[in-house]
């Protein structure tokens, strides 16, 4: 257990001294996950609304499939993205393998099912009376949808927090398509894996603590938005 205490001390030291390497990978983790989360929101909010508000055959099946994809392993997405973006793959010409850009794409793919499913669930949770009242007061279809989304904003924000959490904590995908290249695609989670495999347990744990702290700060910020 002394390792845990040493790790906490090390984490504090790294933060306070603004250790450049740690700052660099922390900033990268944050940038990549926040970007992929934003992209996912831009896809999932309209798409989720579309799926929720429309009737179409196979809707229940689609939602089941989306929820099944919650369990999609990060390495599975990693393999798919790897096969797509390697030089001999269909998107190989872009030369994006082992770059932060492909990590953003991969993470966005990873968290889209979760965010989509939770947003649909959030919208379903809104009382029917809300949309019916809006329509009866003369709201257009679009205005009705906006009102419902507003009503569900608390749960939708939870979906966003969930998606971000999944993105920043994943390691399998980042390792496979990012390559853990020092100074370029190394993130907190991949660095933790490396340091553990090197036997540098304290540093790995310290990085883990820093990751949790970042998640805490983000969550507090998003929570404030949630309460508004």
Contact between 29 and another protein per CB under 8 A = no
**Could you tell me which stretch among 2-10, 73-81, 89-97, 205-213 binds another protein (CB under 8 A)?**
89-97
Question: Interface with another protein includes 181 (CB under 8 A)?
Answer: yes
**For residues 38 and 67, which CB has a smaller minimum distance to another protein in the complex?**
38
Sole binder of another protein in the list 128, 199, 220, 227 (CB under 8 A): 199
Under the binding rule (CB under 8 A), the answer on residue 228 touching another protein is: yes
Q: Which is nearer to another protein, 54 or 228 (CB)?
A: 228
CB atoms within 10 A of CB 130: 15
**In the numeric block, which tokens belong to residue 101?**
């850009």
Does position 101 interact with another protein (CB under 8 A)? The reply is yes
Minimum distance from residue 23 beta carbon to another protein (Å): 11
Q: Decide if 181 contacts 98 (C-beta within 8 A).
A: yes
Please answer whether residues 148 and 126 qualify as being in contact, where contact means their C-beta atoms are separated by less than 8 angstroms. yes
Tokens encoding 19: 């250790």
Check if the beta carbon of residue 102 is closer than 8 Å to that of residue 96: yes
Residues 153-172, interacting with another protein (CB under 8 A) = none
Cα–Cα distance, 135 to 103 (Å, whole number)? 43
Distance, CA of 169 to CA of 185 (rounded, Å)? 15
Residue 71 touches another protein, criterion: CB under 8 A = no
CA 5 from chain centre, in angstroms, equals 30
Nearest CB to another protein, comparing residues 42 and 65: 42
71, 136, 197, 227: residue in contact with another protein (rule CB under 8 A): 197
Q: Which residues in 189-222 are b (16+ Cβ under 10 Å) and which e?
A: bbbbbbbeeeeeebbbbbbbbbbeebbeebeeee
Binding flag, residue 198, another protein (CB under 8 A): yes
Single out the residue of 11, 35, 77, 148 in contact with another protein (rule: CB under 8 A).
35
Told to check if 46 binds another protein by CB under 8 A, we report no
Using CB under 8 A as the binding rule, whether residue 183 contacts another protein is answered as yes
């Amino acid at each position: 257990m002394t390792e845990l205490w040493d790790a906490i001390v090390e984490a504090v030291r790294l933060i306070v001294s603004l250790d450049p390497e740690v700052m660099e990978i922390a900033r990268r983790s944050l940038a990549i996950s926040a970007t992929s989360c934003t992209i996912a929101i831009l896809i999932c909010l309209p798409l989720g609304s579309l799926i929720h508000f429309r009737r179409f055959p196979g809707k229940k099946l689609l939602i089941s499939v989306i929820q099944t994809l919650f369990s999609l392993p990060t390495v599975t997405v990693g393999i798919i993205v790897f096969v797509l973006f390697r030089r001999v793959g269909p998107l190989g010409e872009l030369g994006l393998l082992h770059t932060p850009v492909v990590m953003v794409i991969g993470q966005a793919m990873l968290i889209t099912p979760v965010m989509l499913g939770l947003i649909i669930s959030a919208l379903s949770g809104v009382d029917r009376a809300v949309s019916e009242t809006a329509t009866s007061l003369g709201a257009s279809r679009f205005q009705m949808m906006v009102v419902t989304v507003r009503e569900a904003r608390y749960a939708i924000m939870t979906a966003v927090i969930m998606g971000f959490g999944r993105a920043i904590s994943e390691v399998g995908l980042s390792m496979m398509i990012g390559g853990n290249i020092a100074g370029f695609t190394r993130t907190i989670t991949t660095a933790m894996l490396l340091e553990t495999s090197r036997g540098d347990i304290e540093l790995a744990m310290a990085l883990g603590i820093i990751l949790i702290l970042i998640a805490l700060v983000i969550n507090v910020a998003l929570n404030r938005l949630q309460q508004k």
